[in-house]
Amino acid sequence: MLVWALPLLLAGEADEVFLFSYFRGNGESGLHLAWSEDGRHFSALREGASFLAPSVQHRIMRDPCLLRHPDGHFELVWTSGWTGRGIAHATSVDLLTWSTQQGIEVMAQEPTARNCWAPEVVWDAARGEYLIYWSTTIPGRFAAGEQAGDDGYNHRLYATSTRDWQTFSPTRLLYDPGFNTIDATLLPFGGRWYAIIKDETRRPPRKDLRVAVGDHPQGPFGPAGEPFTTSWVEGPTAAVIDGWVYVYMDAYTAGKYVARRSRDLVTWEDVPDLTMPAGARHGTVLRVPRVVVERLR
The percent of residues in the chain predicted with pLDDT above 70, rounded, is 95
Query: How many CA within 13 A on the CB side of residue 88?
Result: 27
| pLDDT reported for residue 278 | 94
Tell me the C-alpha distance between 251 and 238, whole Å.
Answer: 15
The pTM assigned to this predicted structure is 0.94
Whats the size of the chain, residue-wise? 297
Strand 192-199 relative to strand 208-214, pairing:
antiparallel
Question: Tell me: the pLDDT tens digits for 233-249?
Answer: 999 999 999 999 999 99
Residue 2: pLDDT over 70? no
Contacts of 120 (CB under 8 A, 6+ apart): 65, 77, 132, 133, 134, 184, 185, 186, 284
Domain 16-296: give its CATH superfamily.
Glycosyl hydrolase domain; family 43 (2.115.10.20)
The answer to whether residue 297 scores a pLDDT higher than 50 is yes
pLDDT band at 148 (very low <50, low <70, confident <90, very high): confident
